[in-house]
Each structure stands twice: as C-alpha cells, then as structure tokens.
Structure 1
Amino acid sequence: MKKISIVTVCFNCVGTIEQTIKSVISQDYPNLEYIIIDGASQDDTLNIVEKYQDSITKILSEPDKGIFDAMNKSLNYVTGKYVLFMNAGDTFANEHVVSDIFKNYDGDDNLLYGDDYVLNDLGYMKRQAHAIYERPFTIRDLVFKSQGFSHQSLFTKTEQLQRVKFCLDFPLGADYHTTYKVFMTGNHKLKYVGFPISVFDDRNGGASHNGKFMIQIYVERKSMFKYEFSFLDKVILLWKSIRFNSKYYLSKLFPYLISVYRIKNRNYIKQLP
C-alpha cells in the first residue's frame, strides 16, 4: 500500500488540536505518516501534542510566517505518495476514509478530492465537491468561482506539491493558487472519490470563509491569475459586498429568524452518518 501523509499545522490551538490528532491517529489505514508543524505555541498546545508523540511521525515547533509557511516546512519531512493538510480543529469524516480511498487505489492522479461536512452551531451540513478543473474553465472563472472543494478534503501528489509549494504572497488563497499550479504543471489528472473526506469546523470561522475578507480574496485572485477587473466585474464585487453586509446585519438583528431559515434550507444533521 502507498504511504499516505497527513499534516497538521497549528499555533495556540489548545482547544482544538486534540480532536484533530485523535481523528488522524484513529484511521485504520496501515501505512500512514503524521506530521505536526507548530508555530511555537505559547499555550498548552505542545503539551497535548506530546501526549500522542508515539503516534506522530514528526513534531516540529518553531516560529513561522503563517499557515502556508508552516505547510511549506512540512514538505521537507513528508515522504508519502500523497499528502493531505488537516487543520487543527478539523477531522476526518470517519475512521476508514483513508482506507476507502487508497486501499485499492492504483491510479496516478495529481489530485484526489471529495466532499466535506461543515460544522457550526446548527449541526453538520454536507457540501458536495465540484472541482473547477473537471470542466473547461477560463481565467475569469478561476477568479470569481470557487475551486470546488476544501483543502481538508484534498490529497495531493507529494512530488508535485514539493516542486510547486505554497506562495506566501497570498495569505488567504495560497491553497487555491497551489492547487491550480499542481493541476496545470502536472498530468492534468484528478479524481473525485464520491464521499465526504473531512469535517470543517466553522464554529470559529476561517479567514478565507469570512466575508470580511471577501474583497481581499478577489484582489489576491486578480494577482495570482493575472486578471484585470472590468467595470462589470467591479459592479459585481460591489454587489457581493452589499449582499454580505446585509446578511451580516440581518443575522445580528434577527438571529432566530436567520437560524430558522438556515435549518429549513440547508439540510443540517445533528450527527454524522
């Protein structure tokens, strides 16, 4: 069986790191490598990590320049055929996800991706993945559309990722930029596995999913994909900003009504299947 690597990068994650570690080390895949890169945490994160050191292949703790710098550092230690980055707080959907993907896998895809669950105060909501690379796309598509999956539900061929790495010029969207480069410079092969891989813990909100950073995300994409905004694009961005701010203030003014709407329209479940 191919060796598979899982990487967790963390910094002051005392409240979330243990659930991630337990999820990774409970995988029943027999050839799994686990690497934790810590940014010199000042809380008890490392004490928790060290409780599980016998199940962790490599632990590195030193200052870094942010999450993507830490991810780049991890690539110096990754030896698996494929690697997945599981953030502190996030988990696998179940104990046999990695086995379900790789036990009988003999392909050569650069990217293997699947669905995920978003966890928030209302429960779990399944998101089906639709990779933008599965169909013809334009540069404008890359800027204004999502890549179609989360990095917690993506296994990337290690040798290709080690050549490309993460660009620190894009602190919010370097993962999207890197996936694009892996796909474009690799063999253009990717596979949708057809089931959820991870659970994204959105109870505290991630930067790239926070509407406050929406305009910055598009400005990054403009640079990473060498795109120039047209007048219509600017109008669309303004409209997106107005919509987000409206939803934000409505959620503050009418939290109960917004919760009822979300429950009714987004098919939340209380427990994972």
Structure 2
Amino acid sequence: MTTFSIIIPVFNSENTILIALESILKQSYEGFEILIVDGLSTDNTIKIVEELNDNRIKIYSEKDKGVYDAMNKGIHYAQGEWLYFIGSDDYLYNNDVLQTLSKTLNKMKNNVLYGNVLIKGNTGWATDGQVYNGEFSFQKLLKSNICHQSMFYRKSFILKNQLEYDLKYPISSDWDFNIACRLQSKFTFINTIVAVFNAGGISTGKSITEPFLQERKVKYAHLYQKYKPNLIQRLKYKINALIKKVIRK
C-alpha cells in the first residue's frame, strides 16, 4: 500500500490550517501521515491542530529559518514512501485525489509524479481560475516551475541523492530543487488537478531580487544550451501562447 507523508510548513496559520487539514483527513485513501512543521507560531495554529485529536497528525514545533527549512525538516521526519508538500492555505482538490494518484504511483518507476493545480487568485505567474500548468519538458522547467502542491517525490530517491531545499533562495528554492531532481530522474505527469493553490504565499509575485532568478542561467547554463529550442519549436511555443491568450479573452 502506497503511503504518503504530507508535509505542511506552518507559521501563524490559524485562519487557514483547518481547511487544509480537513481536505486531507476526508480523503478516501487512508495510507497517509500529516506532518505539521511549525516555526513556533504565536497564534492558535497548534491549538487548532491539537483539538482535531487525530493520530495521523504529528506536530513538530521549533524555531526554523523559514518555509524551506521547515520543508527540509519534514523530509527527515517523514515515514512514508512518498513526500508531498502543501501550504497551510492550500487544500486538496477533492476527496479522491490520493486514491487516484496511488494507482499511478504503485506501478511507476520514475521518482517524481506531478499533476496540475487550480489557481485561486492572481499570482503574478498564473491567473485566477487557471489550471496550472500541464506537462513540463526539461526546457519548460528551465523557464518556469512546476507548482510543488502538485508534486510527489519518492523519499528514498531524495535521501539517496542528498537533495534538499537551498535556503539561500527564499522564494524559488522549490524551482531549484525540481531542476536538481529532474537531473537525477525523469518525472511522470498525470493530467489531473491535485490541489487548489491560493495566491498570497511567498511565491506570489516573485521579486527580481530573488537570487535564483538571477543565478539560474549561470548555474544551469549548460542546460540552457543543451535544451535550446530550434526554430520550429519556438514557432510552436508562440502559436500555443497566442491560442491560450485568445481563449482567455
């Protein structure tokens, strides 16, 4: 039976945490644990979680260096086969998400599975109501990130390759992490909505001062050359972008 470790980094999340948790606890698939990795919240976040009195929820509350530090800690606390990270203000799309995904994971040889998310609100990189963002080639991943609320990572793969979120990237460490994962393993895409992503988190409206946005073309320069699109591919991208723009209007 596939087991999931669902990791929720939290800090002062009393207004949203219950919705996130209920979307998980109501799943038809039961093989999961929930790890609340809290950065010493000063509101009622932990009290709300404790009052659920559910032994599938484990709480770790200690000082951290931000959301990606909490996610790194979650990797090592996890007991499940598959790691899944979700924000405290996001929630699973429906009650059968884990059941649907488990069918693919049980027979999958690749080490990362991803689907789509439904965007709620405008993010700066996606619009309200958009289903983000389909299948990613390596080329597409170098230009934009897969939303981590749609992604599942095999824990043994992450540990074997000593992969973790780089804390020097406070906004885009998950993008850097995904490129690092893709260099070690192919990804599997499933065309289903995994979660609802709420605008307003740290990734919304990325600042140009974010180090990763400036460093990625240097750090991964060899990949940009390797996966540089030819003329026909560039024309296809432009045509597809134009079609999407017309449809939205």
TM-score (norm 2): 0.79
1:209 to 2:201 alignment: no
Which residue in the other structure is 1:124 paired with? Answer: 129
Identity level (%): 28
* SS of residue in 2 equivalent to 1:208: coil
Distance 1:82 1:92 in 2: 16
1:157 to 2:162 alignment: no
Deviations 1:170-213 (A, max 9, x none): 1111111111112212xx221111111010011xx2232215x1
- With over 3 angstroms needed to count, the CA separation of the structure-2 counterparts of 1:223 and 1:125, relative to structure 1, is closer
Which residue in the other structure is 1:220 paired with? Answer: 212
Structure 2 counterparts to residues 209-248 of structure 1, below 5 A: 209-211=204-206, 213=207, 215-217=208-210, 219-224=211-216, 226-227=218-219
Cα-Cα RMSD: 2.4
Distance 1:131 1:125 in 2: 16
How many residue pairs get aligned? The number is 218
Residue 210 of structure 1 aligns with an amino acid whose one-letter code is: G
- With over 3 angstroms needed to count, the CA separation of the structure-2 counterparts of 1:184 and 1:41, relative to structure 1, is same
Conserved in 2, the CA contact under 8 Å of 1:17 and 1:88?
Answer: yes
- With over 3 angstroms needed to count, the CA separation of the structure-2 counterparts of 1:56 and 1:216, relative to structure 1, is farther
- With over 3 angstroms needed to count, the CA separation of the structure-2 counterparts of 1:55 and 1:119, relative to structure 1, is farther
* SS of residue in 2 equivalent to 1:75: helix
Distance 1:87 1:153 in 2: 11
Distance 2:248 2:18 in 1: 29
Conserved in 2, the CA contact under 8 Å of 1:116 and 1:197?
Answer: yes
User: Which of 189, 206, 218 is equivalent to 2:186?
Assistant: 189
Q: Which has the larger radius of gyration?
A: 1
Moved over 6 A (4+): none
- With over 3 angstroms needed to count, the CA separation of the structure-2 counterparts of 1:132 and 1:228, relative to structure 1, is closer
TM-score (norm 1): 0.73
Distance 1:266 1:161 in 2: 38
Q: How many angstroms does 1:82 deviate by?
A: 1.1
Residue 110 of structure 1 aligns with an amino acid whose one-letter code is: N
- With over 3 angstroms needed to count, the CA separation of the structure-2 counterparts of 1:46 and 1:222, relative to structure 1, is same
* SS of residue in 1 equivalent to 2:167: coil
* SS of residue in 1 equivalent to 2:76: coil
Residue 164 of structure 2 aligns with an amino acid whose one-letter code is: K
Structure 2 counterparts to residues 33-44 of structure 1, below 5 A: 33-44=33-44
Distance 1:196 1:129 in 2: 10
Which residue in the other structure is 1:239 paired with? Answer: none
Structure 1 unmatched runs, 5+: 230-263, 268-273
Structure 2 unmatched runs, 5+: 222-245
